[in-house]
């Protein structure tokens, strides 16, 4: 029997979709903002494009809409505290979030996490608002790699790593 797509039911269903954890960040005129995001994916290989979906009410969206740049930082299991720090549920000024971790700039001026599994520095070429969120399409201008470590995964409102289960099977 079909279940109506009410907010709580939809939210519960989407918690079953395991996703890689990223920090999407931007900078504009000396201000930085970022957020933890799992609604991120590869869009095209040639030329390289990524897609991110973020809330249009937040500071990060506002900064990206002015700067037209963003970084997508793929987090490792060791970045769980940083992911929590950048999550929207934390009451913290945007700039304070960057006091943890080592942040640098590459090509576009967006903040890039130095030890991310991979950091994609992007020029935002399209912003598509839809309801409460916007789809951002980034042209990847630069990629940097950090240490090889297990990726951070979000599933059922908890952080974990897919490699935990793989290690158990191999162990």
Residue 167 binned pLDDT confidence (cut-offs 50, 70, 90): very low
Query: Residue 14: its pLDDT value, please?
Result: 83
101-to-24, 29, 111, 148 alpha-carbon distances in Å: 14, 21, 11, 17
Lowest mean pLDDT among 20-29, 89-98, 162-171: 162-171
DSSP H helical segments within the chain, as ranges? 7-14, 59-67, 80-86, 94-97, 162-170
Q: What phi and psi, each to the nearest 5 degrees, are found at residue 33?
A: -150, 150
Share of the chain above pLDDT 90, in %: 71
Q: What pLDDT is recorded for position 170?
A: 42
One DSSP character per residue, 127-168 reads: EEEETTEEEEEEEEEEEEE----PBPEEETTEEE-HHHHHHH
Pairing of the two strands 153-155 and 69-74: unpaired
For residue 105, the surrounding DSSP H or E stretch is strand 103-105
pLDDT at 171 over 60: no
% of the chain residues with pLDDT over 70: 87
Residue 53 backbone class (left: φ over 0; alpha: ψ -120 to 50; beta: rest) = beta
pLDDT per residue over 66-99, tens digit each?
Answer: 999 999 999 999 999 999 999 965 555 666 899 9
Q: Which CATH architecture has domain 18-170?
A: Roll (2.30)
Mind listing the pLDDT tens digit for each residue in 129-139? 999 999 999 99
Mean pLDDT of the chain: 89
Residue 83 · residue 23 · CB < 8 Å = yes
* Token representation of residue 98: 């960057």
Q: Where are the domains of the chain?
A: 18-170
Residue 144 pLDDT: 98
Higher per-residue pLDDT: 152 or 13: 152
User: Over 60: is that where the pLDDT of 12 sits?
Assistant: yes
């Amino acid at each position: 029997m079909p279940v109506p797509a009410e907010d709580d039911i939809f939210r519960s269903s989407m918690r079953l979709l395991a996703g890689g954890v990223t920090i999407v960040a931007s900078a504009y005129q000396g201000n930085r903002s970022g957020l933890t995001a799992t609604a991120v994916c590869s869009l095209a290989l040639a030329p390289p494009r990524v897609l991110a979906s973020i809330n249009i009410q937040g500071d990060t969206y506002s900064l990206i809409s002015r700067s037209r740049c963003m970084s997508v930082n793929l987090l490792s299991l060791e970045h769980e505290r940083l992911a929590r720090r950048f999550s929207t549920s934390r009451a913290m000024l945007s700039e304070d979030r960057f006091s943890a971790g080592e942040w640098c700039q590459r090509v576009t001026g967006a903040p890039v996490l130095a030890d991310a599994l991979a950091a994609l520095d992007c020029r935002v070429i399209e912003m598509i608002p839809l309801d409460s969120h916007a789809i951002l399409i980034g042209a990847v201008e630069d990629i940097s790699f950090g240490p090889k470590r297990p990726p951070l995964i979000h599933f059922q409102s908890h952080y974990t790593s897919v490699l935990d289960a793989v290690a158990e099977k191999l162990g």
